[in-house]
Structure formats: C-alpha cells, structure tokens
Amino acid sequence: MTRGVYVPVDECARNGRFLSLRADDGTPHCASWDSELGGFAYGPGLPVQKRITHYFVRLPGAPPAEGSY
C-alpha cells in the first residue's frame, strides 16, 4: 500500500500528469493540468468544474507504485 498525503496544489501539480485530486468541497477527481485551459481537466477540453485545492503525493521512502518504472 502506498503511503501518502494530500497537499495543497503547487507548481509540482501543474506538470501535465494525471493526479488524484481533491476539490474544495472534498470530492475526489482524477485529472491533469491543462495549460491551455489554465486549470485541471479530465481530458482535452473537459475542465474540472470544481475548484481543485489538493493533490496526492507519495511520501519519501514509500515503496514504488505497482507497475511504475
């Protein structure tokens, strides 16, 4: 099991990778930063309608996720 925490969105979250996200109302989302939209999106042209405030990060020393290289 991966150990991790949700941290406030920062520049690291705006990397274009799909992330596990939380909105300000606590709802979970999986989306990536879309620089053209200037926000998180589920896919091209599909913006997340909620205000994303946090994203999930693995803690240092946590085992690599299964299937990651």
As a whole number of angstroms, the distance between CA 52 and CA 28 comes to 9
The pLDDT of residue 16 is above 60: yes
Chain centre distance of CA 20: 4
All residues at 6 or more sequence positions from 63 whose CB lies less than 8 Å from its CB, including other chains: 2
User: For the segment 30-65, what is each residue's pLDDT rounded down to a tens digit?
Assistant: 999 999 999 999 999 899 999 999 999 988 775 666
Coil vs helix vs strand at 13: helix
pTM: 0.78
